[in-house]
Amino acid sequence: MATVKGDRVEVVVDVGDGVQRFDIRATRAGRRVEVASSRGAVEVTEVTRSGRAVRTARFMAARVVAVVEHPAEDAAP
């Protein structure tokens, strides 16, 4: 999976009896959210302007149905 970036990333996970959506947002101005895959997992990382990771959510790649990137321009004014 290619790395994608945005202010908000929505991850849709197959939880067996349906799907569950997880919304990971940049918590401060200037930060962004990146998505990458590693060791059978999809990792969604909030990073600072300088590229430092501050938190990472992790999902089993085999259970991830969709990853939806929401760039900054999606935000309401």
List contacts with other proteins (CB under 8 A).
Answer: 11, 13-17, 20, 22, 24, 27, 39-41, 43-45, 53-60, 62-63
Cβ proximity to other proteins: between 5 and 21 the closer is 21
Q: How far is the CB of 71 from other proteins (least distance, A)?
A: 21
Rounded to whole angstroms, the Cα distance separating 38 from 32 reads 19
Cβ proximity to other proteins: between 67 and 73 the closer is 67
Cβ proximity to other proteins: between 52 and 77 the closer is 52
User: Under a CB-based contact definition with an 8 Å cutoff, are residues 33 and 8 in contact?
Assistant: yes
Q: How far is the CB of 56 from other proteins (least distance, A)?
A: 4
Rounded to whole angstroms, the Cα distance separating 20 from 6 reads 20
Rounded CA Rg of the chain = 12
Backbone angles phi, psi at 61, to 5 degrees: -60, -35
